Chains A and B, each alone.
Chain A
Amino acid sequence: MTIDLAPNHKAGLVLANPVMPAAGCFGLGAEYARLVEVEALGALVVGPLTAHPRRGAESPRLVPTPGGVLLHTGLANPGLSAILHRYARVWARSPVPVIVHVAGTAPDEVASCCQRLSGLETIAGLELGLPDTADPDEATAIIQAAHASASQPLIVRLPLVWADALCQAAVEAGADALTVAAPPRGTAWYAPGNHFITGRLYGPFVLPLALRALRRVAALVSIPLIGCGGIHTVEDARAFLHAGAVAVQVDGAIWRDPACLAHVARTLQVK
């Protein structure tokens, strides 16, 4: 038995397992090659990437918080051309489908990325991240730009706080599946530098927030949903599946325990 994340797309996006890493946590596909049993997973989600290189945020990017961590990378990545040059062969060798996460910075940049990625057989699907501040109109414009440019199935990752407000617009704009949700943003005081740092929050405390968002989205739309946020155990992953997700993404837990990814996947193997 398999899971199709894009049953209405001509190519489909079929996974043999519901478990995959979350974008922003697994690098570009090679970093964890020696620590994670990739073949046990349903897919790899790599990136985020942007059309042009981004230097990213200055140091420090990482601030420990009670029970978790705040991370602000500023979308650091070498840009689409460099990434394709270095990683296309890595993705081609992947034993599981590769989903590339494109940062939804602006419609024209998203369209540029998706056009370059379109038709590449090594990429089974695209996941589009939305700005946390996007309203339904902005989100629609970005998703439509991706949908019009990409040949692969399109997953849209919703901002946690706006997941229920944006989900229907995302479906209408062309999303084949939704990831619920991107890690929430928070702000930490960085005492040594005497300034605040705003970034994404990772840790088990995210799970109840993401689970609530997923249940609300599940009540509003009927396309495949991917649960994401604070999964650290098999039971955490099962909670998302009970709430209406057909698949899950594991985020910061990979950093703590890379082996947990394959463990969760093997335990939840579709019979």
Chain B
Amino acid sequence: MIQSDALITDVGTSGPFVRVTLAAPAIAPGLAAGRFVLADLGDYLRAPLFPARIEAEEFDVLISPLHAAVALQPGANVDLIGPLGRGFEIPTATDRLLLVASTAHLPVLLPLTHQKPASAASGGVEAPSLRERPGFSIALLLSAPTAAELYPIRLLPPAVEVTIVTTDGSAGHRGSILDLFPDLVRWADCACIADDPATYPALAEIVREVRAGSGRRFVQALVVPPMACGVGACQGCAVSVVRGTKLACTDGPVFDLLELR
């Protein structure tokens, strides 16, 4: 973890998002899906930025056009603290990875579409990505209010099998992710969720029903309350869990779904 300037090298669009590329050679290698940086964008609280694409010396973030970071232009510097937090942890033995996201939260999960096995990622050993491994498959349950607000499927890796849900039925299944989640979570041997935490109790109930006895962290979920320090010093980003309270910045922001209260 360091505090360092990152250089904005490119700004573009990616579906409904603004894509900002940050050159941060000292920070990027430590990033992973669900890990984050705190960026000084001028407000009193730094803004958490989650990588959507990670390379050796740079990373992309995909942000809403309303996000404060859209003011960043190529050539500008932004002060970052990172990498921070505990991200999604995909067991090396995973064969069927389920991703669940609303379009607004999808960018956090995008690095998982080319996630490396945990043992290789930490040991520096070059290994094929999980999705290149024979027998490995990724399913994405993606939701949006309408078809117009969906993240374009063509921008996702072809190997990702996408199931779409829209509230109004203008694309894919009409309804909510809760309708299709039971079958998909039965199929999966690891699931990662980035959605409105208000949906988590219902998703947890489904997991308890259809995958009772599943191991710890079988389903992992992202929770991002407001944060001040990012290092566990201020105690501000509390998340209620079954056995007390944890901090999103150091214990999370990715938690076992069944641990959340």
Q: Chain A residues in contact with chain B, CB under 8 A?
A: 24-27, 31-32, 34-35, 55-64, 67-69, 71, 73, 76-77, 202-203, 252, 254-259
Contacts and interface: CB of A to CB of B under 8 A. Distances in A.
A73 B235 contact: yes
Interface residues of B, number: 28
B44 A62 contact: no
B44 A257 contact: no
Nearest to B228: A255
A62 B227 CA distance: 7
A17 to B, nearest CB: 20
B170 interface: no
A34 B79 CA distance: 16
Contacts of B227: 62
B226 A64 contact: yes
Interface residues of chain B: helix, strand, loop or mixed (majority): loop
Contact of B229 (A31, A55, A59, A76): A31
B197 to A, nearest CB: 10
B119 interface: no
Contact of A35 (B3, B236, B240): B3
Nearest to A199: B236
A31 B137 CA distance: 39
Contact of B44 (A35, A55, A64): A64
B225 interface: yes
Which of A57, A59, A61, A67 lies at the interface centre, i.e. has the most chain B CB atoms within 10 A of its CB? A59
Nearest to B244: A55
A60 B233 contact: no
Interface string B48-64: 00000000000000000
Contact of A62 (B2, B226, B231): B226
Contacts of B199: none
A34 B2 contact: yes
Given A35-B3, A259-B3, A254 B229 contact: yes
A35 B1 contact: yes
B46 interface: yes
Given A35-B3, A56-B245, A255-B228, A62 B43 contact: no
Nearest 8 A/B pairs, CB to CB: A27-B233, A62-B236, A31-B233, A73-B235, A255-B228, A255-B229, A62-B226, A59-B238
Contact of B43 (A24, A64, A77): A64
A61 B232 contact: no
Contacts of A62: 45, 225-228, 234, 236-237
A61 B247 CA distance: 11
Contact of B81 (A24, A56, A60, A258): A258
Contacts of B234: 24-25, 27, 62, 71, 73, 255
Contacts of B45: 62, 64, 69, 255-256
Nearest to B231: A31
B20 interface: no
Interface in B1-57: 1-3, 40, 43-46
Contact of B238 (A27, A56, A69): A56
A32 B245 contact: no
B231 A257 contact: no
A252 to B, nearest CB: 7
B44 A61 contact: no
Contacts of B232: 27, 31
A56 B235 contact: yes
Given A58-B240, A67-B44, A76-B245, 8 more contacts: A25-B234, A27-B232, A34-B1, A35-B2, A58-B245, A73-B235, A255-B229, A255-B234
Interface string B206-238: 000000000000000000011111111111111
A61 B237 CA distance: 7
Contact of A55 (B3, B233, B239, B245): B245
B81 to A, nearest CB: 7
5 contacts: A55-B244, A56-B235, A73-B235, A77-B235, A254-B233
Contacts of B231: 27, 31-32, 35
Contacts of B43: 64
A230 to B, nearest CB: 11
B116 to A, nearest CB: 25
Given A60-B226, A71-B228, A258-B3, A35 B238 contact: no
A257 B46 CA distance: 9
A183 B237 CA distance: 19
A34 B3 CA distance: 9
A257 B41 CA distance: 12
A64 B40 CA distance: 15
B44 A73 contact: no
B199 to A, nearest CB: 15
Contacts of A68: 44
A25 B233 contact: yes
